[in-house]
Amino acid sequence: MLVKACTNGASELMSSISMSIVSMLYNVQLMKYAGEDGVAAYGVLMYVSMIFQAVFIGYSVGTAPVVGYHYGAHNQDELKSLLRKSACVIGVFSILMCLAGEFLGMPFSVLFVGYDQRLLEMTAHAFGIFSLSFLFSGIAIFGSGFFTALGDGLTSALISFLRTLVFQIAAVLIFPVFWELDGIWFSIVFAELMAVAVTGLFLLGKKKKYHYI
């Protein structure tokens, strides 16, 4: 049981490891294309992102016991209802957070880097691109947590591994070649979009096994 519990938590392990690796790679690319200002702007984006994504993480963690209970009790109707309601909640908050990021990008930038006009403009511009990632990140975060709650640690870990490591590394290495600094900001959006596609495929592929659709 202990081994199974550790395996089921593999997605959280991957998220923590991947975050460190990807952050180092982003810093290397930002130093190459934008210097120290780029690293500073990225730091601001990550601080704000942690606040925004905490909503999705909190919801996923909070609903996990409910999902696990209904799955274990074979309450398939409740499981279906929970997934539908969660999709609506995540969808609404994704749109609200994207809009908040777009409209509050400049105030947040002023708060952190208002002392430097060039850095302020770079950060505010990055916010305009980066905020699009909030449209997609909640779905992948919830999807990973949903499969963890179902006891499917492998699927959860795959979603987390692809989202936080594979897609981001591929994008941050390739996109800047074509779009330079903007390519780095867009790479985060691309990674989240691809993670949504993978999450959708897993949800469709596992529906007969878990009966949540």
Per-residue DSSP letters for 38-95?
Answer: HHHHHHHHHHHHHHHHHHHHHHHHHHHHHHHHHHHTT-HHHHHHHHHHHHHHHHHHHH
Q: pTM for the whole thing?
A: 0.90
Lowest mean pLDDT among 2-6, 27-31, 66-70: 2-6
Distance CA 127, CA 106 (A): 8
Look-up of token digits 């730091």: 43
Query: What is the number of domains present in the chain?
Result: 1
How does pLDDT run across 94-103, given as a tens digit for each residue? 999 999 999 9
DSSP assignment of 84-153? HHHHHHHHHHHHHHHHHHHHHHHHHHHHHHTT-HHHHHHHHHHHHHHGGGHHHHHHHHHHHHHHHHTT-H
Helix, strand and coil content of the chain, in percent to the nearest 5, comes to 90, 0, 10
Q: Calculate the average pLDDT of the chain.
A: 92
Residue numbers of the domain that contains 61 = 2-210
For position 4, what pLDDT does the model report? Answer: 76
For position 19, what pLDDT does the model report? Answer: 80
Q: What is the mean pLDDT of residues 77-104?
A: 94
Lowest mean pLDDT among 13-17, 57-61, 181-185, 209-213: 13-17
Q: What percent of the chain has pLDDT over 70?
A: 100
Predicted confidence (pLDDT) at residue 8 exceeds the cutoff of 80: no
Q: Are the CB atoms for 14 and 160 separated by under 8 Å?
A: yes
How does pLDDT run across 106-155, given as a tens digit for each residue? 999 999 999 999 999 999 999 999 999 999 999 999 999 999 999 898 89
Distance CA 136, CA 94 (A): 7
